[in-house]
Amino acid sequence: MSAMRTPFVHLLTAVVLAVAAAGCIIVVEEDDDYYSELHGSSWYLEIIWIHGHSHRVQQQDYALSFASENELTGTAGCASFTAGYDLADQEIRINRFRTSTFGCQDDDLRSLFLEHLPEVSDLEVDGVQLEMTTEAGNRLVFGR
């Protein structure tokens, strides 16, 4: 009886390991595909939605780049910025936000962008568009 049982136990063990391995691979690939669109990518600001009012951006002077797995860089008109960021699921936390506005004149669009970018908490990317949303519901919409 134990001779018949041994092949069954080996088969059952192989099936369980295969199912467990397949489940892990699917989860890892899904996360990697989602984040692969961000790492090393650059985006240009197209629209800022603040308190129900939209501000369309016509020039590509407002941009951000996911320079590495944890560093964000960009421009806001004549200003530049750097920050750290952490991603988890479709959430982003921007930290250590630093900007240089040396020599810049007052610009309402730049002020809105630099004020709300560090506050974003959610993001959605679909290949050609990146949307970042703050907890207050303000949105920054970027294109490529």
Task: Give the pLDDT confidence score for residue 89 in this predicted structure.
Answer: 85
At a CB cut-off of 8 Å and minimum separation 6, what does 43 contact?
63, 64, 65, 130, 142, 143, 144
Residue pLDDT tens, the chain, 144 long: 445 555 655 555 555 455 455 554 333 334 455 666 788 999 999 999 999 999 999 888 999 999 998 999 999 999 999 999 999 888 999 999 999 998 899 899 999 999 999 999 999 998 899 999 999 999 999 999
Task: Give the pLDDT confidence score for residue 24 in this predicted structure.
Answer: 42
At a CB cut-off of 8 Å and minimum separation 6, what does 42 contact?
63, 64, 65, 66, 144
Lookup result for tokens 């709300």: 116
Instruction: Tell me which residue of 85, 1, 83 sits closest to 38, measured CA to CA.
Output: 85
- CB atoms near residue 120 (< 10 Å): 20
- For 3-127, strand residue ranges (E) read 42-50, 53-56, 62-66, 71-76, 79-88, 91-100, 120-125
Task: Give the pLDDT confidence score for residue 28 in this predicted structure.
Answer: 35
Lookup result for tokens 């320079």: 67
Token code pair at residue 96: 């250590």
Task: Give the pLDDT confidence score for residue 123 in this predicted structure.
Answer: 94
DSSP state of 21: H
What does the alpha-carbon distance between residue 141 and residue 126 come to, in Å, rounded to a whole number?
Answer: 12
Task: Give the pLDDT confidence score for residue 27 in this predicted structure.
Answer: 36
